[in-house]
């Protein structure tokens, strides 16, 4: 277990008791810094690269948290993990209104437009094209088990689609798709509305095919969020998100050709393990509905175009 008190101490925050994380999946501590609240959280191993990238976004008018100025270096390393202190942003949570969806699409478009043409920030370079049949078999076993316990029937089509994705990985890897630098976790629980969206987590920033980032937003925008609808965007909502996005970005014909395969690949990479790993999510009614909706989009999501 990580020692929260020690993590806070390296930044100069003294607390009497072991702090409690405000996020269930990783250490995120809210503490006072003078009269302001700040958040101490984990960031990736290329911490300095991420910080210079998000500082560039902020300098160009994107509402995104950047490290707080402290008496000590920020970010810092604790054991083998990098931590950073960001301001705590007050605002309301996303509730799935049309205006919020449109504004979120606009924000992602703005972020993509600010991407350099090559990986000049030296961010992690996406290279996950090595899934195999056995991984799908094992994940499907776990998914079917969790679903059965929750009283849900999973048909054979999901596995068929996932195996199709395994088969088209190399084609995607060698397609020469346009890449962008992006925070790459663009979803509702990383946005605070004040009232326009403010991005509070860019710590997964990477260099990745642009349509993979879009596919992630389509699939997981409503994941792990109490106020969001417990489903993927509707086709109309997706059109709205894209309308905002396209104020800044013109997608290429090649991206439109590969969109279906990209969507399947991102499901394979980001959604399959979520469904296989977290049995408790299948027992949670809203997450269960989201999973159901995700499977439907994978099997029959032709209406979700670019």
What is the reported pLDDT for 23? 83
Reported as a pLDDT band with limits 50, 70 and 90, residue 34 is confident
- The residue ranking higher by pLDDT, 156 or 25, is 156
**Model confidence pLDDT, tens digit, residues 44-90:** 888 899 999 999 999 999 999 999 998 998 888 888 889 999 999 99
Same domain membership, residue 12 and residue 118 = no
What is the reported pLDDT for 3? 85
Residue 47 in any domain: the answer is yes
Same domain membership, residue 274 and residue 138 = yes
For residue 151, how many C-alpha atoms fall within 13 Å in the half-sphere facing its CB? 4
What is the reported pLDDT for 1? 61
Angle at 233 between CA 188 and CA 214, to 5 degrees: 70
What are the structure tokens assigned to 28, written together? Answer: 């995120």
- The residue ranking higher by pLDDT, 77 or 242, is 242
pTM: 0.94
Dihedral sign, Cα of residue 18, residue 21, residue 27, residue 31: negative
Same domain membership, residue 159 and residue 74 = no
Residue 192 in any domain: the answer is yes
What's the N-to-C CA distance of the chain in angstroms?
A: 44
Same domain membership, residue 140 and residue 253 = yes
User: Is the confidence at residue 225, as pLDDT, over 90?
Assistant: no
Spatial distance between the Cα atoms of 111 and 276, rounded to a whole number of angstroms: 31
Specify the CATH number for the domain of residue 67: 3.30.200.20
Same domain membership, residue 153 and residue 82 = no
Q: What is the 3-state secondary structure (H, E, C) of 44-106?
A: CCCHHHHHHHHHHHHHCCCCECCCCCCCCCCCEEECCEEEEEEECCCCECCCCCHHHHHHHHH
Same domain membership, residue 210 and residue 74 = no
Beta strand ranges found along the chain (DSSP E): 28-33, 36-43, 76-78, 81-87, 124-125, 179-182, 191-193, 197-199, 206-209
User: Is the confidence at residue 304, as pLDDT, over 70?
Assistant: yes
In order of 5, 143, 218, 269, 274, the CA distances from 146 in angstroms are 36, 5, 24, 19, 12
244 is in which domain, residue-wise?
98-300
Enumerate the β-bridge partners of residue 179.
Answer: 209
Specify the CATH number for the domain of residue 217: 3.90.1200.10
Verify cis geometry, omega within 30 degrees of 0, for the bond prior to 75.
yes
Residue 137's CB is within 10 A of a number of other CB atoms, namely 12
Instruction: Identify the residue whose tokens are 């972020």.
Output: 111
Verify cis geometry, omega within 30 degrees of 0, for the bond prior to 195.
yes
Same domain membership, residue 184 and residue 274 = yes
Spatial distance between the Cα atoms of 174 and 164, rounded to a whole number of angstroms: 17
Spatial distance between the Cα atoms of 46 and 50, rounded to a whole number of angstroms: 6
Residue 114 in any domain: the answer is yes
Overall number of domains in the chain:
2
Same domain membership, residue 38 and residue 113 = no
- The residue ranking higher by pLDDT, 21 or 24, is 21
Same domain membership, residue 257 and residue 166 = yes
Same domain membership, residue 279 and residue 137 = yes
């Amino acid at each position: 277990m990580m020692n929260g008190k020690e993590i806070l101490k390296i930044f100069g925050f003294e607390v009497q008791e072991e702090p409690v994380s405000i996020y269930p999946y990783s250490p995120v501590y809210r503490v006072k810094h003078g009269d302001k609240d700040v958040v101490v959280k984990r960031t990736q191993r290329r911490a300095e690269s991420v910080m210079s990238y998000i500082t560039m976004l902020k300098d160009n008018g994107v509402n995104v948290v950047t490290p707080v100025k402290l008496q000590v270096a920020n970010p810092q390393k604790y054991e083998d993990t990098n931590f950073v202190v960001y301001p705590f942003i007050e605002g309301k949570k996303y509730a799935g209104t049309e205006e919020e969806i449109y504004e979120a699409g606009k924000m992602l478009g703005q972020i993509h437009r600010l991407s350099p043409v090559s990986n000049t920030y030296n961010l992690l370079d996406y290279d996950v094209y090595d899934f195999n049949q056995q991984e799908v078999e094992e994940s499907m076993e776990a998914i079917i088990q969790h679903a059965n316990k929750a009283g849900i029937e999973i048909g054979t089509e999901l596995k068929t689609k996932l195996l199709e994705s395994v088969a088209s990985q190399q084609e995607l890897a060698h397609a020469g798709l346009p890449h962008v630098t992006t925070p790459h976790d663009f979803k509702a629980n990383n946005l605070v509305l004040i009232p326009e969206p403010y991005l509070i987590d860019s710590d997964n920033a990477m260099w990745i095919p642009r349509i993979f980032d879009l596919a992630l937003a389509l699939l997981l925008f409503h994941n792990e969020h109490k106020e969001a609808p417990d489903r993927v965007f509707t086709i109309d909502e997706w059109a709205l998100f894209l309308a905002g996005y396209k104020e800044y970005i013109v997608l290429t014909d090649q991206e439109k050709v590969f969109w279906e395969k990209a969507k399947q690949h991102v499901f394979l990479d980001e959604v399959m393990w979520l469904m296989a790993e977290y049995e408790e999510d299948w027992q949670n009614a809203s997450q269960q509905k989201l999973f159901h909706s995700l499977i439907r989009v994978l099997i029959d999501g032709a209406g979700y175009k670019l």
